[in-house]
Amino acid sequence: MVTGKERCKVQAERQNTRPPAVAGQFYPADPGRLRADVQHLLAASSPPADLAPKALIVPHAGYLYSGAVAAAAFAALRSAAASIQRVVLIGPAHYVAVSGIAAPAVQRFKTPLGHVAIDLQAIDKIADLPCVVRSDAPHAPEHGLEVELPFLQTILPAFTLVPLVVGEATPRDVASVLGELWAANDTLIIVSSDLSHYLSYQAARDMDSITAAAIERGNWSKLGSSQACGYLPVAGLLIEAKRRGLRAQRLALCNSGDTAGPRDQVVGYGAWIFFRPQT
């Protein structure tokens, strides 16, 4: 028999947990199939050797469309996986308007692969920044962060999470938040963003090539909403990466017309790794 105390505990856990919103849509809801799919995508990727990643840019569409591109970035974490203790995961708000950058109030996120604990101390650290708000509403329906979690749960032994959703903010707002959370080598920064949306196949290739060049040159001011849904977090990362002497290397670049979609209206996907060049 379930006691009242146990029922209260379960209810409290549910209230403090952000459940998956797009399991069964963007990726499999069955844990076994999900783990197998992610492992297959990671096994098919051959990231550059001897690079210690500090930050990644990864896409966030359904795995059928952008999973291979995302895996190209996540596979680059293999050699450093044991040293990564905290992941700052930041992306755009697709569904709920946000004035600033939203950090959640819940204590954990959940996927079919289990729970991921929120680093509440890290969120407290940025809570006083004028651009940061505390709200679960923008996170509840958001796929842009959620789809990255099964990759992280598969490749990292253990980690805490700092999930952030960017609404009406500036690239320098994002850079200031990332700067506060940058910390030591045990912190990984991940920007979740797709590239161009609903252009023809060739127009998307042209646009995404320009965007890729801007990312690789650190030209954050050249990025806009037509080039990437997450252009604000990408630009903020570029500002902070340049300040800290990091270099971006492209791992993959394609669009949905190359993977599983028609070519009349496509979405672009790219993956980059940021690292400190050896001197």
Beta strands at 17-18 and 108-111: parallel, antiparallel or unpaired: parallel
In the chain, what is the greatest distance between 2 CA atoms, to the nearest angstrom? Answer: 64
Question: Top-level CATH class of 4-275?
Answer: alpha beta
What predicted TM-score, i.e. pTM, was given to this entire model? Answer: 0.94
Q: Which of 13, 223, 233, 11 is nearest to 102 (CA)?
A: 233
Residue listed under structure tokens 């902070």:
240
Please count the other Cβ atoms lying within 10 Å of the Cβ belonging to residue 57.
26
**Distance between CA atoms of residues 39 and 31, nearest Å:** 12
pLDDT attached to residue 2: 55
pLDDT attached to residue 242: 97
Reported as a single tens digit per residue, the pLDDT across 170-219 is 999 999 999 999 987 899 999 999 999 999 999 999 999 999 999 999 99
**Distance between CA atoms of residues 208 and 202, nearest Å:** 10
DSSP string covering 220-276: GGG--TTT-TTHHHHHHHHHHHHHTT-EEEEEEEEEHHHHTS-SSSEEEEEEEEEEP
pLDDT in tens, the chain (279 residues): 556 554 444 455 568 999 999 999 999 999 999 999 999 999 999 887 778 899 999 999 999 999 999 999 999 999 899 999 999 999 999 999 999 999 999 999 999 999 999 999 999 999 999 999 999 999 999 999 999 999 999 999 999 999 999 999 999 999 999 999 998 789 999 999 999 999 999 999 999 999 999 999 999 999 999 999 999 999 999 999 999 999 999 999 999 999 998 999 999 999 999 998 876
**H helix or E strand, kind and range, residue 72:** helix 63-74
pLDDT attached to residue 216: 98
pLDDT attached to residue 61: 98
pLDDT attached to residue 49: 72
pLDDT attached to residue 3: 60
pLDDT attached to residue 14: 67
pLDDT attached to residue 11: 53
User: What is the CA angle 223-89-204, rounded to 5?
Assistant: 35
**Distance between CA atoms of residues 147 and 70, nearest Å:** 10
204 and 266 Cβ atoms separated by less than 8 Å: yes
